[in-house]
Structure 1
Amino acid sequence: MEIERKYLPLDLPANLNDYKCHKIEQAYLNTAPVVRIRKQDDEYFLTYKGGGMMAREEYNLPLNEKSYYHLREKADGNIITKTRFLIPLEDGHTAELDIFEGKFAGMLLVEVEFSSIEDANSFVPPKWFGKDVTNDGHYHNSYLSKI
């Protein structure tokens, strides 16, 4: 189960390059339900996501490089590329700040994953997180792959 909230950050942490980051490329084989392939640094995954906004089923399976690139040729729509920064928060959670590249260059999105719906609902975001877009499907990467 994936439980996460999404925000449109107002600004970036001053010391952004001090945080661990990942280079991500992902493509969609289907968007309802979501079937996605992802290259994260030198790792490859096939992901299934069920319906929902804040909470939904999620299953990840490992892929090898050859399988990833074979499936990528079958993907529909835009291939999403981004750098994801992992920023520890004072409450023990981790902010995943995505800085998009390519077609969506300049777009910023920050997500936080939770262990329970109660934890997600009680979360108080830092001021720099900006507007909560958790329940707006326009900020799902699967939607971005289609526009």
Structure 2
Amino acid sequence: MSKAVAEEAPTAVEIERKFLVAELPDLAGLESVDVAQGYLTHSDDSVEIRLRKKAAGATANYFMTLKSDGALERKEIEVAVSAEQFESFWLATMGRQVEKTRYVGALGDGLHYELDVFHGGLKGLLLVEVEFPSVEAANDFVAPDWFGADVTSNKGYKNKALAVKGMPQP
């Protein structure tokens, strides 16, 4: 990685819990974005390299992200890429892609959630994620009633696994 890219993309630690959705909340008035993401790495790789396009109306943003293996806590490096760079790599992700609409909402305790409504072969799957400032905050979190089962540690619900293997078996 060039020094310029390394300076633009410091390694961050993402502390996140992921849940199934027991009951879909009211989505009216929530910010939403259409997301297409594909994986350059395969299912047996311990790290993932992901391409992501986030489109809201006529505006689209493109990213390449490297994520470490893990469940609750993962290292993440994300850099913006151009549409041309995204397109040049996108074909290499065939067979390892997901499409979803992401809704962002606020929780009462100052936290935000990201609710993903999947499309295509994953239609019907609803996942909600919450990022936390610390592992302690994540462990102390009490999910709202509309959240379903905690699948943070279930590798089958990682987006990469969904892209490669499809819907997890119960």
* Cα distance between partner residues in 1 of 2:148 and 2:50: 27
* Cα distance between partner residues in 1 of 2:28 and 2:117: 12
TM-score by length of 2: 0.83
Consecutive unaligned residues of structure 1, counting only runs of 5 or more, are none
| 1:102-131 CA distance string (max 9 Å, x none) | 111111000001111111111111010011
Please list, as runs of the form range in 1=range in 2, the aligned pairs for 1:13-32 lying within 5 A after superposition: 13-14=25-26, 16-31=27-42, 32=45
Matched, 1:7 2:25: no
* Cα distance between partner residues in 2 of 1:17 and 1:141: 25
Residue 77 (structure 2) aligned to one of 48, 51, 59: 59
Consecutive unaligned residues of structure 2, counting only runs of 5 or more, are 1-12, 166-170
RMSD: 0.9
Residue 120 (structure 2) aligned to one of 102, 110, 113: 102
Q: Cα offset for 1:78?
A: 3.1
* Cα distance between partner residues in 2 of 1:77 and 1:2: 26
TM-score by length of 1: 0.96
Q: Which runs of 4+ in 1 moved over 2 A?
A: none
**Which AA in structure 1 matches 2:16?**
E
Aligned equivalent of 2:49: 35
The sequence identity of aligned pairs, in percent, is: 40
Q: Cα offset for 1:77?
A: 2.1
